[in-house]
Amino acid sequence: MSEKTLFGPYELGPLTLSNRIVMAPLTRNRAGAGLVPGALAAEYYAQRASAGLIVTEATQVSAQAQGYQDTPGLYTPEQIAGWRTVTDAVHARGGRIFVQLWHVGRVSHVDLLGGEAPVAPSAIRAKTKTFVNNGFADVSEPRALDAGEIPAIVDSFRQAAANAIEAGFDGVEVHGANGYLLDQFLRETANTRTDAYGGSVENRARLLLEVTDAVSARIGADRTGVRLSPVSPASGIVISDSEQAQFNYVVEQLDKLGIVYIHVVEGATGGPRDASPFDYSALRQRFGRTFIANNGFDLTLAEQHFAGGKADLFAFGRPFIANPDLVERLKTGAPFNPLDPATLYGGGAKGYTDYPTLAD
């Protein structure tokens, strides 16, 4: 791909990105005391600042929102200060960085929540595991959120978005994907509510849209993105026949809110792109701004999709872990470093900041 295309600049709202390659969110479980990102995180993200856009690891909007051990938050002064060191380091190298904001909902464990049960749209336990006590364990039984609790959920995202701007982020990505709370509300297999947040396509989309509206009203729609995963069975989600209608509606409404991008996982996260039938072009047609495509892309596939107008930006996940200079390697055809899977979750610098660049 020539420098005027995949490796050329791109205007994302008020930002100019140096290229069309996005570093996807990657959970690494290395936050320090108080769930504060530390000096290693600043080094890790700065090493990868040649990406056109970095979207950070998912970051909880409140203590209740945590679902995995040692994932960072963005709801205390210390966490804000910790993230400021990260954004300063990325900006010093000319990068752009959004923070992904999440609430995991039912994908959590009582040991992470002070003994409290995880919350969910309905009291349906997810058939999945979480990382807790330095290992993987089944998630805990959740309780259904009371309707009166939902405004506080919305407000936690709103406040975390404001905190993100205070921490120096260029914007935020609302995590509406991968089987976490906002995605749980979207799914008829996880949401059996009979109130205004359950039942119809419109009702199941209500919380995601309320959160996105609150975030964009607080920090600007041009600094707000949303991640979606229409057919990914991640985190115990069961896919039903209603997903096309559900996500067509969601994207139509997100377009009306004027947000700067949607970030769409095509297929099963980390798995096959054709996991379930779905027309991603229908989402592309319904959204008038930036479309980020994610899942299983290599340079050839990204080139093909770009040439066909299927997406504007392309997210790469695990290749960025072992290759901090992934953009240069894609551009020059250089080989990739091998990934050490034993160091993906938790630990220190090994497998985090010690992967060599081509210059090394």
Please identify every residue annotated as catalytic: 180
Rounded CA separation 325/337 (Å): 10
Dihedral, 332, 336, 337, 341 alpha carbons, nearest 10: 150
Q: State whether the Cα torsion 71-87-55-324 is positive or negative.
A: negative
Q: Which of 354, 307, 356, 309 is nearest to 329 (CA)?
A: 356
Rounded CA separation 191/202 (Å): 13
DSSP-derived 3-state class of residue 20:
coil
Rounded CA separation 200/263 (Å): 24
Helices vs strands, H then E, count in the chain: 10, 14
Render 256-275 in DSSP notation, one character per residue: HHT-SEEEEE-SSTTS-TTS
Structure token pair of residue 255: 């377009």
Give the angle 77-78-81 at the CA atoms, nearest 5°. Answer: 85
User: Any idea which residue has 């330095």 for tokens?
Assistant: 134
Give the angle 122-56-174 at the CA atoms, nearest 5°. Answer: 40
- Other beta carbons within 10 Å of 105: 27
